[in-house]
Structures are given as C-alpha cells and as structure tokens.
C-alpha cells in the first residue's frame, strides 16, 4: 500500500525546496519563513517553517498538527519568505487529502 495523506493525519512533514530558476535559494538570508496552506473550503492556514538542514539547500518544512488536515479534498501549498526589505511567495502546489474508513 502506498502512503497517502489522510484526513486528520498528524505529523506529516511538508518539505518545500525554494529555487529561483535553476538556482537554489539560500534561506539563511530570510528572517521569516512560512508555508501557507489553502484548504478546500478556502480557509488559509499559515505555519512557521523550519530549515530542513542549514538553509543552503533551499529546503524548509513544517509538520501537520491537529486540525490542519481536517477537510477531505485538494489543498494548495505555497511558501513565503521575507526580510525587512523584501517579501516574496513561491509558485503554488497542490495535494489531496483522502478520506478514512470511518
């Protein structure tokens, strides 16, 4: 069986890699790092992101908690980076949250 994201899963690690074209972005330059989720009901959930390693690989992550994945359907995901001088968001990805056998 393949692992899928299921309704109410806790502890799912969402890892995003930030690049600018072919260049990996060094995340150490940013004061704020967030991962934004848009749920199927259009609710926005913003979570602080943690560097996956030392930041030079462009990877950051957050972990699902109770209430994060509470709706079945298509979620959108986007990263946000900011300093005191600049703020930008990445392209938007998506994933599906599946039902359980309740």
**pLDDT per residue of the chain (102 residues) written in tens, 0 to 9:** 567 999 999 999 999 999 988 999 999 999 999 999 999 999 999 999 999 999 999 999 999 999 999 999 999 999 999 999 999 999 999 999 999 987
Structurally, how many domains does the chain consist of?
1
Instruction: Give pTM, 2 decimals.
Output: 0.92
- Domain presence at residue 59: yes
Predicted pLDDT of residue 1: 54
Nearest to 52 by CA among 67, 62, 38, 40: 62
Residue 63's domain is classified under what CATH number? 2.60.40
Of 76, 70, 59, nearest to 13 by C-alpha is: 59
List phi, psi (to 5°) of 29: -75, -10
69 lies in some domain: yes
Q: Give residue 2's pLDDT.
A: 61
pLDDT for residue 54? 96
The boundaries of the domain holding residue 83 are: 13-97
**Is residue 47 domain-resident?**
yes
């Amino acid at each position: 069986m393949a692992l899928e994201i299921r309704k109410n899963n806790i502890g799912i690690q969402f890892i995003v890699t930030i690049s600018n074209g072919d260049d990996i972005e060094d995340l150490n330059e940013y004061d704020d790092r967030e991962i934004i989720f848009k749920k199927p009901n259009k609710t926005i959930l913003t979570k602080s992101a943690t560097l996956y390693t030392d930041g030079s690989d462009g990877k950051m992550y957050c972990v699902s908690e109770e209430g994060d994945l509470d709706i079945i359907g298509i979620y959108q995901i986007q990263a946000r980076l900011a300093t005191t001088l600049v703020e930008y968001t990445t392209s938007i990805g998506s994933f599906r949250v599946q039902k359980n056998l309740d």
